[in-house]
Amino acid sequence: MSRLEEGIKHFNAEEYKEALTCFNDSLKTQCSTVEQNDILQRRARCHLYLGNVSHAIEDAKQLIKNQPNSTAGHILHGKALTKAKKFEDALSAYRKGLDVDPSDKVIAQCLKDMQNAIVNCYEQKAKGTDMSYNAVNLCTQESYPGDEELAENERQIIEMKGYNKLPSIYSGMPDPEQAHKYLLLARKEIKAGNLQSALKSYDVSLSRDPLNFDSWTEKAIVLHQLERNGEAYQCVAAIPSECRSSDNWKLGGRCCV
């Protein structure tokens, strides 16, 4: 069994220290470019698991240099920078990865993970201070008090997901009675389990009364149930911040994490 094979065996067994030693030895021997890149990926992941962030960053940079047309190095780079709490740099790394492949699903998941890391970082900073809310409830709809950098990074993630655009509705002559009628109809459709029909009724209701925040909230809940989180987030964002309840903030948080 070669040192590389030993390393892979240790890696799969989550024995990262032993795997790291094997991968270090493997890179000292003559190997093909493909093998070298594979070893670099595995070694970088070992470094991440072991908390050796700076070494993981170096391996990721080398991987990017070796494979400029692959997202693998950018993903590892972003993960390492996220672990180092260098969120702005991590965001830049993921953007470079998206330049290579705009539809990379791994990067999409990494952005979610990074968003969670930002939230966790903020909550850790908030410990010991007198706050009646937490970062999940805010979730970029307003700035994190006292921490504009984290807020800006999260806002950029929301932009990259396309959640930052407000929903468009046709708003003719206001008709509160018709709006209420369709709001009740939407609720009736929900009880019957007809979520798609309910959404259409909410749209009509909002076209008659765009300032009915109950309609925006309930529509957002239905969209979230249908896992259409981008649209759900937009509905919550359509409610002015001063009019949002704590449940609105929480819903926005669930939609964008």
User: Max alpha carbon distance in the chain (Å)?
Assistant: 78
Contacts of 249 (CB under 8 A, 6+ apart): 133, 137, 138, 139, 141
The pLDDT, as a whole number, for residue 211 is 72
156: which 2 tokens? 């950029």
Residues with pLDDT less than 70, the chain:
115-116, 118-174, 241-242, 256-257
Give the residue among 74, 65, 60 at the shortest CA–CA distance from 104.
74
Confirm if 236 and 255 have CB atoms less than 8 A apart: yes
The pLDDT, as a whole number, for residue 132 is 36
The pLDDT, as a whole number, for residue 133 is 34
What is the C-alpha end-to-end distance of the chain, expressed in Å? 44
Per-residue pLDDT tens for 131-140? 333 333 333 4
Per-residue pLDDT tens for 77-106? 999 998 998 877 888 898 899 889 888 888
What domains, with CATH codes, occur in the chain?
Answer: 3-126 (1.25.40.10), 176-256 (1.25.40.10)
Using a 10 angstrom Cβ sphere, with 0-12 exposed, 13-18 middle and 19 or more buried, the burial of residue 69 is exposed
Helix (H) or strand (E) run with residue 22 in it: helix 16-28
Q: Is the dihedral of CA 19, 20, 25, 29 positive or negative?
A: positive
The pLDDT, as a whole number, for residue 139 is 39
The pLDDT, as a whole number, for residue 167 is 56
Tell me what percent of the chain is helix, strand and coil, each rounded to the nearest 5. Answer: 75, 0, 25
Give the residue among 63, 25, 69, 66 at the shortest CA–CA distance from 45.
63
Residue 24 vs residues 29, 54, 57, 135: alpha-carbon distances, Å: 9, 16, 16, 41
Q: Which contacts (CB < 8 Å, 24+ apart) does range 50-56 have?
A: 50/16, 50/17, 50/20, 51/83, 53/80, 53/83, 53/84, 54/84, 56/80, 56/83
